[in-house]
Structure 1
Amino acid sequence: MPYTQDIVDEINILVRYNLSTTQEGIKVHKTATPETIAATKRLYDKGLVTQEDGGYLTTLGHEAAEQAQTVLNLLNPA
């Protein structure tokens, strides 16, 4: 199954989280792109983040963000 644009948008949100701490979240403002706002809402609906506009990662969200960041690092080495 190929990635859809919606999945890519959600992954782009997940890789913004700082995984070295659980005390740091993100806030997606209403001035963000409609795609970013929608992706964050979908992550909330899937139980990966604590708020519709971002918030903190849930346990499942932390696992997903770790894997997303690992894939990104493998495909785009520094």
Structure 2
Amino acid sequence: MPFSPIHLAELNLLLQFPSTSTQEGIKVHSNEAAEDIVQAAESLFAKGLISRHDGGYLTPMGCEAVELTQKLQSMLAGG
């Protein structure tokens, strides 16, 4: 099954979270962000990966998802 556009938006949004600290988060401003990013944030929240529907902080499962996403990105980039 290929990645859907929403999955790609979720992966890209996960990469925006700081991976070195659980005390730093992000905020997705619905009036400024692209619709796919807003949907990705809501989807990640529904899946329990982030603390708020508009960003917030990573949950423990979200931290793991960021780590895996970074590894996948590195592998695909060839390094």
Structures share fold, TM-score greater than 0.5: yes
Give the superposed CA RMSD.
1.1
What are structure 2's unaligned runs of at least 5 residues?
none
* AA aligned opposite 2:39: A
Once residues 77 and 12 of structure 1 are traced to their aligned partners in structure 2, the CA distance between those partners, rounded to angstroms, is 18
Instruction: Map 1:38-57 onto structure 2 (within 5 A).
Output: 38-57=39-58
* AA aligned opposite 2:28: V
CA drift of 1:77 comes to 4.5
* AA aligned opposite 1:58: T
2:61 maps to 60
What are structure 1's unaligned runs of at least 5 residues?
none
Describe the SS at the equivalent of 1:29: coil
Once residues 16 and 73 of structure 1 are traced to their aligned partners in structure 2, the CA distance between those partners, rounded to angstroms, is 15
Aligned length: 78
TM-score (norm 1): 0.94
Q: Deviations over 1:7-31 (max 9, x none)?
A: 0010000011111111110000121
% same residue = 40
CA drift of 1:36 comes to 0.4
Runs of 4+ aligned structure 1 residues displaced above 3 Å come to none
* AA aligned opposite 2:6: D
